[in-house]
Chains A and B, each alone.
Chain A
Amino acid sequence: MKTRRLYTGFVVALAALAWVAIGNPTAANAQAKEFVFTAIPDQDETQLRKRFNKIADYLSKELGIKVKYIPVKSYAAAVTAFRNGEVHLAWFGGLSGVRARSLVDGSVAIAQGFEDKSFETYFIAHASSGLKPADSFPKEIAGKTFTFGSKGSTSGRLMPEFHIRENLKKAPEEVFSKVGFSGNHSKTIALVQSGAYQVGAVNFKVWEKELKAGKIDESKVQVIWRTPPYPDYQWTIRGDVEKTWQAGFVDRVKNALLNMKDKELLDSFPRSSFIPASNSDYQPIKDVAKEIKLIDD
């Protein structure tokens, strides 16, 4: 009797697999007409869904088509989903956007937040490290323990690494006694605040938000250096969307984003407004990424 169970189980599993593989054809058809977007999970992931579902509603209303947001768990997953055509539009960081556009011909950056023109990374340090705020790059950080954010982050990885290499002429592993990747900006702050790592690099927007929320004790952790500004987050869209929807669709999406005036929507990013962006705005990011060999060619 028991053998029967095993085999039935196996057959059922196979059938299930087949069903899933075929992917529930009706659903797939519906999706073909659905405009899908994603966003890098840079912070406040639990809020991401709420935030972007509102954006989906907004876009849906503006564009007159069905719009859906799908959450992803990493920068790389966002880029992959964009590359594979699972999503048509994405809210990328500087580095992930550069990666995505180099992988998908015809994709373009269409809008960025007003603040993203001149984004910054804060170097933060635990009080016990003895590091003090300075205007120039704090070379004394050499020999300390250091944590980046996510491996694929612009503000948490690319730009801080660039400035470390630029100023100390060595790779981070050689500069610091330990190098970690906290995974996200909130964790970077928590790890430096507890002194688990002495120094860290964090997205300035996240820092300010957590400071406002009272999660930071400035007697324990403080900003010791701010990087020069660089371009960061942007909306990037696939070129082939005009094949599915009509010509001029890219501009319609762009205008919808630029016309977003609802303070609640904008605050959730948090950005004061969206302004036009182009691929060339991100050339500096691309150059830096190539220089520190995070991307090829």
Chain B
Amino acid sequence: MLLYLENEDLGYQGDIVLHNISLSVSDGERVAFVGKSGAGKSTLLSVLQSRFPNDIALIPQDTGLVRALSLFHNVYMGRLHQNSTFYNLLNLVWPQKPEVEEIGALTTKLGLEGKLFERTGELSGGQQQRTAVCRAIYQGGSAVLGDEPVSAVDNRQAVQILEALNERFDTILLAMHDVDLALRFSDRIIGIQDGKIALDQPATDLQRHDLDFLYIE
């Protein structure tokens, strides 16, 4: 069992957003959280993040990039914890060949070729999002947690990103706004509505219209 919540009220600093949540996630599950914006997906995800072991890879909604640093460095940051501080600092001032090659290959795969040493602040929104995905993939580990990781890219790239994530991680927890993609790339769909879990079923049991109720105004 990777994560287990039972009858918990969740929120920020006493401001409860999600009520009476019970949820468990096992290793190897691929979970998509769906629902209207404002339903509480992000809150749930940030709580899940804080409950997870340290080495989970993250793709925050705001990408969490250091805009002043290059694409290379932002991706490399995924492995700060695996290398010595000295090596990290060396890489900061003098990018090392093995990392440059590995990160170069990875970013090329996600359509960021030729941007390796550009400041991420100068990249487009979609490119920044892919950078954040690259960082998570580069970090690796068994699990990834992403909040709308494909919100700023087109459908083709979204498929590319989700395939890459599926290839890399056993356990995947993603908040998604695109129901089709959620059904296609997840094993399990959790629907959030008005601060509650309104649906929690295997993706294979669901059709697109089964989720429509989550989006009714």
Contacts and interface: CB of A to CB of B under 8 A. Distances in A.
Asked if chains A and B are in direct contact (CB within 8 A), the reply is yes
Contacts of B92: 3
B93 interface: yes
Contacts, number: 6
Nearest to B68: A2
Nearest to B93: A4
A1 B92 CA distance: 8
A11 to B, nearest CB: 12
A7 B90 CA distance: 12
B69 to A, nearest CB: 10
Tell me if A's interface is mostly helix, strand, loop or mixed.
helix
A4 B93 CA distance: 6
A284 to B, nearest CB: 69
Nearest to A4: B93
A1 B93 CA distance: 6
Interface in A1-53: 1, 3-4, 7
Interface in B79-102: 92-94
Nearest to B117: A1
B87 to A, nearest CB: 15
Nearest to A7: B93
B73 to A, nearest CB: 10
B89 to A, nearest CB: 9
A1 B72 CA distance: 12
A40 to B, nearest CB: 52
Contacts of B94: 4
Nearest to A8: B93
Interface string A232-252: 000000000000000000000
A3 B73 CA distance: 13
A7 B94 CA distance: 13
Interface in B94-144: 94
Contacts of A3: 92-93
Nearest to A5: B93
Contacts of A4: 93-94
Interface string A119-151: 000000000000000000000000000000000
Contacts of B93: 1, 3-4, 7
A7 B93 CA distance: 10
A161 to B, nearest CB: 61
A187 B92 CA distance: 58
A22 to B, nearest CB: 29
A1 B73 CA distance: 11
A172 B150 CA distance: 82
Interface in B39-59: none
A152 B145 CA distance: 75
A255 B92 CA distance: 69
Nearest to B92: A3
A3 B94 CA distance: 11
Nearest to B89: A3
A263 to B, nearest CB: 67
Contacts of A7: 93
A5 to B, nearest CB: 9
Interface string B138-180: 0000000000000000000000000000000000000000000
Nearest to A2: B68
A1 B70 CA distance: 10
Interface in A159-191: none
B120 to A, nearest CB: 14
B90 to A, nearest CB: 11
A7 B92 CA distance: 12
B145 to A, nearest CB: 30
A1 B94 CA distance: 8
B96 to A, nearest CB: 14
B163 to A, nearest CB: 34
A132 B92 CA distance: 79
A65 B159 CA distance: 88
A3 B89 CA distance: 10
A169 B92 CA distance: 74
A99 B40 CA distance: 81
6 contacts: A1-B93, A3-B92, A3-B93, A4-B93, A4-B94, A7-B93
The 6 A-B pairs of least Cβ separation, nearest first, read A4-B93, A3-B93, A3-B92, A1-B93, A7-B93, A4-B94
